[in-house]
């Protein structure tokens, strides 16, 4: 076995204290997340959208830490004698803080902003407002969260597809499988003969997409799974 691709979703960060999208009512101050995380919402009310992401950024920077699931994936990357790629739908930086280096944030990153005028992507650890200035072109009001909203195209898809086609093992962790294209990755990997494993608290759908499903908390299951992959690889 040479190539492992791990797709992660909100469930892997849940044990760190970040709420999932589709759990707990899925509302933010009475707005459906789908009504805030769109280009139309940003055009209509940029202040509201900034406020939504400012709160998430503040929360991420104020004491949220990686959990054993993030740390296990970093160990897999470090110790596996082959290629490990983490493709995450999460916009937090917990994989990096857990020690993973080969990470693709297909839905963007909360700790970055992007200027809608010049395209510059910059580190962003502060609140954004309609008065924020682009550090490169100095336009005012143009920096937006560097996140992929509903209706926008995820980042680095060709690279992800190449990795899925080459994967011998595909593991999905803590994702509801409701949002495409990520939800279709298992089929692509399987069509190219990868073994497929899912880790989730719950059943994620009509089933059958994954060869193996492990039910439970990612922070408990993933360290054992990584241990057994490494033992087999040794």
Which sequence positions are flagged as catalytic? 107
Q: What is the DSSP letter of 174?
A: S
CB-based contacts of 233, cutoff 8 Å, min separation 6:
1, 80, 81, 82
Nearer to ligand APR, 68 or 143 (CB): 68
Q: What is the DSSP letter of 25?
A: G
Q: Which of 10, 18, 49, 226: binder of ligand APR (CB under 6 A)?
A: 10
185 CB neighbour count, 10 Å cutoff: 26
Locate 135 and state its tokens. Answer: 């550090």
115 and 39 in contact (C-beta within 8 Å)? no
Number of chain residues interacting with ligand APR (CB under 6 A): 24
Q: Which of 20, 117, 122, 213: binder of ligand APR (CB under 6 A)?
A: 20
Site string for ligand APR, 145-184 (x = CB under 6 A): -----------------------------xxx-xx-----
What end-to-end distance do the CA atoms of the chain give, in Å?
11
Q: Phi first, then psi: what are they for 42, rounded to 5°?
A: -70, -35
According to CB under 6 A, which residues from 70 to 109 bind ligand APR? 89, 107
**Stretches 54-62, 125-133, 156-164, 200-208: which one binds ligand APR (CB under 6 A)?**
200-208
**Considering the complex, what minimum distance in angstroms separates the CB of residue 153 from ligand APR?**
12
Cα 59 from Cα 63, distance rounded (Å): 7
Nearer to ligand APR, 59 or 117 (CB): 59
**Stretches 52-60, 113-121, 164-172, 196-204: which one binds ligand APR (CB under 6 A)?**
196-204
CB-based contacts of 158, cutoff 8 Å, min separation 6:
none
Q: Which residues bind ligand APR (CB under 6 A)?
A: 9-11, 14-15, 20-23, 33, 89, 107, 174-176, 178-179, 199-202, 204, 217-218
């Amino acid at each position: 076995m040479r190539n492992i691709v791990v797709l992660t979703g909100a469930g892997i960060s849940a044990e760190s204290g970040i709420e999932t999208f589709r759990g707990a009512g899925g509302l933010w101050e009475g707005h459906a997340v789908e009504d805030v995380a769109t280009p139309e919402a940003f055009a209509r009310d940029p202040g509201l959208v900034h406020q939504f992401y400012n709160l998430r950024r503040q929360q991420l920077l104020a004491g949220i830490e990686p959990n054993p699931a993030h740390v296990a994936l970093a160990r897999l990357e470090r110790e596996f004698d082959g290629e490990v790629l983490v493709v995450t739908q999460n916009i937090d930086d917990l994989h990096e803080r857990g020690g993973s280096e080969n990470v693709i944030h297909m839905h963007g990153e909360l700790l970055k902003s992007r200027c809608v005028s010049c395209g510059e992507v910059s580190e962003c650890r502060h609140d954004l407002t309609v008065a924020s200035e682009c550090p490169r072109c100095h336009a005012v009001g143009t920096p937006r969260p560097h996140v992929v909203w509903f209706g926008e195209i995820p980042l680095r898809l060709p690279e992800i597809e190449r990795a899925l086609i080459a994967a011998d093992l595909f593991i999905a962790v803590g994702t509801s499988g409701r949002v495409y294209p990520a939800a279709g990755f298992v089929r692509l990997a399987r069509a190219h003969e990868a073994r497929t494993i899912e880790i989730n608290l719950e059943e994620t759908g009509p089933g059958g997409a994954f060869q193996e499903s492990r039910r439970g908390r990612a922070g408990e299951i993933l360290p054992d799974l990584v241990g057994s992959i490494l033992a087999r690889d040794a």
